[in-house]
Amino acid sequence: MPHLSSPPSVLAARQRRERLTRRGLFFLTVFPPLLVVVMAAVLLGRAWPILGQNSLWALMSGRVWKPVAGQFGFLPFLSGTLWVTLAALVLAVPPSLLTAIYLAEYARPPTRAFMKPVLDLLAAIPSVVYGVWGVIAIVPWVQHTLAPFCRRAFGFLPLFRSENPTGFSIMAGAIVLAVMVAPFIIAVTYEVFRAVPEGMRQASLAVGATRWQTIRHVVLPKTLAGVLAGIVLGLSRALGETMAVLMVVGNVVQVPRSLFDAAYPLPALIANNYGEMMSIPLYDAALMTAALILLVIVLMFNVAATLVLRRMKARSQ
């Protein structure tokens, strides 16, 4: 411990240790950004045999997936990912935003205190458990209730018509995924709404606006970028979610046409086939291409969203 009567040599030793630890620890900070780069490089290297031979466009728009014949068309998987993710967002975003607004603008402290652990728990439940819930509860419900109802009520729209007799479908995947990403979107957007200065709300209320008018005309315009960033973060979570979706979405290689068709998203493709991938030529490169696509999309979304959120936070302080 420091002491006034420490001889100079002790002080010098402590200062030397300080300098050494400082320099040593600096190397730790290099690791996280480096890991991102290394990850992308390794995946790119393993995907190169296929990326180097085919044009990116040909791979992305190819509909035929026959690894044994060396045909790798990613369109079924890309479209499957897109369908499930977008459908999940359509289901998740409105209730998530309303809940976040309610928590930030209306709820009393006890309600907030109750909601925090609920959201934490929802975020902590493993994705496999969501998958089990999907298989037990959502898939049969989609099969016996939702799909027949939609066929009767909206059957004239191709979006709701399907030959798929099971409940394992985009719809089931989207419902499960929506419940999974909702707590995430709520948590991020809640923070964004809380960052609006209280004075702005009070100014609006003081001139006679109702609370909802204040939200619509003051809070929402001010937080639009942050809310979008929150949604994008939720979107990138949904894109990469593997097990829960894989368990309920059907995994049929096809370009889906309806919400009740089965789909085969990219993460499911990787998870289902890693076993065979070393025994068929180029198969491993194809699966690593799938992983690389996921990584690149998520990377772009996350960097953009994180920068927007950080800027909002900095401005409010």
Residue 260 C-beta: closest distance to another protein, Å = 21
Q: 133-137: list long-range contacts, CB under 8 Å, 24+ apart.
A: 133/176, 134/172, 134/173, 134/175, 134/176, 134/244, 134/247, 134/248, 135/247, 135/248
96 near another protein, rule: CB under 8 A: yes
Nearer to another protein, 26 or 57 (CB): 26
Q: Is 33 in the site for another protein (CB under 8 A)?
A: yes
Which window, 77-85, 126-134, 156-164, 198-206, contacts another protein (CB under 8 A)? 126-134
Could you say whether residue 101 binds another protein (CB under 8 A)?
Answer: yes
Indicate the residue among 169 and 251 with the shorter CB distance to another protein: 251
Residue among 5, 7, 9, 29 that touches another protein (CB under 8 A): 29
Which residue in 125, 225, 252, 280 binds another protein (CB under 8 A)?
125
Token reading at 215:
């939200």
Judged by beta carbon, residue 79 or residue 99, the one nearer another protein is 99
Residue whose C-alpha is closest to residue 264's, from 282, 246, 278: 246
By CB under 8 A, is residue 294 in contact with another protein?
Answer: yes
Q: How many CB atoms lie within 10 A of CB 272?
A: 14
Q: Scanning residues 137 to 156, which ones bind another protein (CB under 8 A)?
A: 137
* Cα separation, 311 vs 249, whole angstroms: 37
Q: How far is the CB of 69 from another protein (least distance, A)?
A: 23
Q: Give the residues across from 263 on adjacent strands.
A: 250
Query: Which of positions 229-248 make contact with another protein (CB under 8 A)?
Result: 233, 236-237, 239-243, 247
211 interacts with another protein by CB under 8 A: yes
Tally of CA atoms within 13 A in the half-sphere of 28 that contains its CB: 5
Nearest CB to another protein, comparing residues 173 and 183: 183
Place of tokens 């309806």: 258
By CB under 8 A, is residue 203 in contact with another protein?
no
Does 93 bind another protein (CB under 8 A)? Our answer is: no
119-124-130 Cα angle (round to 5)? 100
Residue with tokens 């936070």: 313
Contact between 267 and another protein per CB under 8 A: yes
Of the candidate residues 7, 8, 9, 22, the single one contacting another protein (CB under 8 A): 22
From residue 195, give the alpha-carbon distance in Å to each of 152, 216, 309, 313: 46, 16, 11, 7
In this structure, what token pair is assigned to residue 28?
């730790």
Q: Could you tell me how many residues of this chain bind another protein (CB under 8 A)?
A: 84
Q: Which of 22-30, 57-65, 75-83, 148-156 is the region at the interface with another protein (rule: CB under 8 A)?
A: 22-30
227 binds another protein (CB under 8 A): no
Which of 253, 298 has the CB closer to another protein?
298
50 binds another protein (CB under 8 A): no
Determine the 3-state secondary structure of 72 from DSSP.
Answer: strand
Q: How far apart are the first and last CA of the chain?
A: 37
Helix (H) or strand (E) holding 71: strand 71-72
Residue 293's nearest CA partner among 2, 98, 51 is 51
